[in-house]
């Protein structure tokens, strides 16, 4: 139960990050320690921010799905796979998608 509460709070933060990024007027960062790109280097700031924001909202949804998946399998070894899949393995596609967005929207 404690896990569900903690992960629910994490999901709310992910939704919040996504909404803030979608509404931002300045280019946003991926939150990986890198600085946001300069406005002059982003081809379309609104599209850049929207796609990053949607990515974080989807990550929040994946966390919520993991919570429900945990309830469905109960106390089983599958639980570890579901939690790792929802939290850790979903970061890999996010990083790859961010790199694609950098190629598509950032000029050198």
* Closest CA relative to residue 69, chosen from 15, 57, 61: 61
Q: pTM of this prediction?
A: 0.87
Range 94-104 average pLDDT: 94
Q: What DSSP assignment string belongs to the chain? A: -HHHHHHHHHHHHHHHHHHHHHH-SSPP--SSSPPPPPGGGBS-HHHHHHHHHHHHHHHHHHHHHHHHHHHHH-SSTHHHHHHHIIIIITHHHHHHHHHHHHHHHB--
List pLDDT tens digits, range 57-97: 999 999 998 888 887 877 778 877 887 878 888 889 999 99
Q: Cα torsion at 88, 23, 41, 52 (round to 10°)? A: 20
- Residue 51, number of CB atoms within 10 A of its CB: 19
List pLDDT tens digits, range 2-40: 778 888 999 999 999 999 999 999 999 987 788 899 999
Domain boundaries, the chain: 2-23+41-105
């Amino acid at each position: 139960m404690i896990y569900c509460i903690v992960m629910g709070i994490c999901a709310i933060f992910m939704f919040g990050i996504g909404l803030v990024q979608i509404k931002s007027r300045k280019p946003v960062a991926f939150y990986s320690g890198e600085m946001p790109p300069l406005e002059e280097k982003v081809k379309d700031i609104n599209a850049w921010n929207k796609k990053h924001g949607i990515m974080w909202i989807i990550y929040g949804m994946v966390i919520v799905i993991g919570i429900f998946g945990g309830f469905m399998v109960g106390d089983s070894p599958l639980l570890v796979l579901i939690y790792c899949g929802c939290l850790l393995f979903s970061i890999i596609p996010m990083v790859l998608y961010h790199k694609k967005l950098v190629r598509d929207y950032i000029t050198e």
